[in-house]
Amino acid sequence: MQIFQYPDQSQWAALQQRAAAQQAQEVEQRVLGIFQDVRQRGDVALRDYAQQFDGVQLQDLRVTPEEIAAAAAQVPAELQTAIRQAHANILRFHEAQRPHEERVETMPGVLCWRRAVPVQRVGLYIPGGTAPLFSTLLMLGVPARLAGCPEVVLTTPPQKDGSVNAVILFTAQLLGISTIIKAGGAQAIAALTGGTDSVPAVDKIFGPGNRFVTAAKQLATRYGVAIDMPAGPSEVLIIADDSAVPAFVAADLLSQAEHGPDSQVILLSDSMSVIEQTKAEIARQLTTLPRAAVASQALEESRAILLRTPEEMLYFSNQYAPEHLILAVRNPEQLGEGVTSAGSVFLGHYTPEAVGDYASGTNHTLPTNGYARNYSGVSLDSFLKKITFQRITTEGLLNVGPVVETMAEAEGLSAHARAVTLRLEAITGD
């Protein structure tokens, strides 16, 4: 872990840089080629990519009902119980986000309201590989179901034997998702964007992934498909004062570092002792992790920065806009009042970020790479569209009509004005 002591603010921008990624242009060109291939060859292309990237020959891209039903028997009872409890917590938190339709009379006889309707077709991308993220399926599937989306399509990479991870299938069954596609990477996003014989095209795509998946989601928007947000490699920033427990801080940093080699972790502290003890704890705990090699790669880009005050640390954090922000300080709620840019905030010494990843109830699909400056994490709203309605009585048109006539004529849009004038004349008989 690189340590920086009291850097000048002119150096902050460099310290806030994310880990160097593969050339964006090169990634985009490769993804564009995959999109064109999938659009031209459909299922055949998806099977070829499964052979190339996943090392498996697939006959059927869709998971069968029998495969889904058999999955529960392969999931340990203790894990099933944990997933059901997490599901209940996530459901409870997201249910509280249901919008209320309210009718507003802006002038006598002019009634306006807004109605929330579900996105009709949504695609959920769940990464597989070395860490199949069934927890992400909960985070996306619960609000999709609460919103009432009529069609939910799940794509996830197949395993070497051609199956889908049993825990992912168990979770899908719990959520009532039956359209499950064995496809991963940019090719899965391409299939959800344009559709194939096996994969229904969708209106909006959700889910995290590597740089190729992120680039594919952004490319999907060019074809009229919406996405949740640009969500790339995971990251955490911890603000720790001298009340922090170094073992806790180290564990939180490692919990993000183990996600992948391009994850980024940053520690800010006003105590050099905390920084040094945390660094020692990282080295000690790292030796016990099964994913130590992955975490070690991520730690090569990690930084510990000594600053002067909690307020200065918060200022740095708001500029960085982390996906996850942990406030390991004496007065976390007080400091938390000043947070303006973060995906999700974890207050105090006994609120590990891992709890939000799994079971507190908040959503863990969050903006990364600084997008927390202008994006929110996934919520029930992400699966809803808001449509405005209005109804105007004759009294209402008499009230608001002259306003519209005056404004329309001032903009030189006479037909707009005439649409009102003709009705006013019909009402008044003039």
Q: Is residue 8 part of a domain?
A: no
Query: What are the pLDDT digits (tens) for 296-335?
Result: 999 998 999 999 999 999 999 999 999 999 999 999 999 9
Told to judge if 323 belongs to the known catalytic residues of this protein, a careful annotator would answer yes
Neighbours of 85 (CB within 10 A): 12
Q: Is residue 24 predicted with pLDDT exceeding 80?
A: no
- Among candidate residues 94, 324, 364, 405, the one labeled active-site is 324
pLDDT computed for residue 72 by the predictor: 83
- Among candidate residues 281, 323, 353, 405, the one labeled active-site is 323
Helix/strand/coil percent split, the chain, to 5 = 50, 15, 35
| 50 Cβ contact partners less than 8 Å away, ≥ 6 residues apart | 56, 57, 58, 157, 158, 182, 183
Mean pLDDT score of the chain, rounded to an integer? Answer: 95
Burial class (CB in 10 A: 0-12, 13-18, 19+), 229: buried
Enter the DSSP assignment of 333: H
Identify the domain boundary among 211, 228, 245: 228
Prediction pTM value: 0.94
Strand 121-125 versus strand 110-118 pairing type: unpaired
Question: Band of the pLDDT at 211, cuts 50, 70, 90?
Answer: confident
Closest CA to 322 of 250, 259, 238, 248: 238
Q: Is residue 51 predicted with pLDDT exceeding 90?
A: yes
CATH code of 199's domain: 3.40.50.1980
How many structural domains are present in the chain?
3
The answer on 200 and 105 residing in a single domain is yes
Q: Please compute the mean of the pLDDT values over residues 225-251 and round it to a whole number.
A: 94
Told to judge if 349 belongs to the known catalytic residues of this protein, a careful annotator would answer no
Q: In angstroms, rounded to a whole number, what is the distance separating the alpha carbons of residues 242 and 234?
A: 26
Closest CA to 114 of 300, 336, 386: 386
Query: What are the pLDDT digits (tens) for 340-363?
Result: 999 999 999 999 999 999 999 999
The answer on 328 and 297 residing in a single domain is yes
Q: Is residue 145 predicted with pLDDT exceeding 70?
A: yes
The answer on 267 and 193 residing in a single domain is no
CATH code of 407's domain: 1.20.5.1300
The answer on 59 and 207 residing in a single domain is yes
Q: In angstroms, rounded to a whole number, what is the distance separating the alpha carbons of residues 187 and 37?
A: 9
Closest CA to 118 of 78, 156, 100, 145: 145
Q: Is residue 19 predicted with pLDDT exceeding 70?
A: no
Q: In angstroms, rounded to a whole number, what is the distance separating the alpha carbons of residues 220 and 186?
A: 10
Q: Is residue 7 part of a domain?
A: no
Q: Is residue 174 part of a domain?
A: yes
Is 259 annotated as a binding-site member?
Answer: yes
pLDDT computed for residue 314 by the predictor: 98
- Residue pair 73/167 in contact (Cβ under 8 Å)? The answer is no
Query: What are the pLDDT digits (tens) for 100-143?
Result: 999 999 999 999 999 999 999 999 999 986 678 899 999 999 99
- Residue pair 266/305 in contact (Cβ under 8 Å)? The answer is yes
Q: In angstroms, rounded to a whole number, what is the distance separating the alpha carbons of residues 192 and 201?
A: 5
Q: Is residue 22 predicted with pLDDT exceeding 70?
A: no
Residues in the chain: 430
| 163 Cβ contact partners less than 8 Å away, ≥ 6 residues apart | 67
pLDDT above 70 covers what percent of the chain? 98
The answer on 353 and 406 residing in a single domain is no
Q: Please compute the mean of the pLDDT values over residues 247-260 and round it to a whole number.
A: 95
Is 234 annotated as a binding-site member?
Answer: yes
Q: In angstroms, rounded to a whole number, what is the distance separating the alpha carbons of residues 129 and 146?
A: 28
Identify the domain boundary among 200, 228, 256: 228
3-state secondary structure of 391: strand
Q: In angstroms, rounded to a whole number, what is the distance separating the alpha carbons of residues 190 and 202?
A: 11
pLDDT computed for residue 261 by the predictor: 87
> Which residue range(s) make up the domain with 372?
232-376
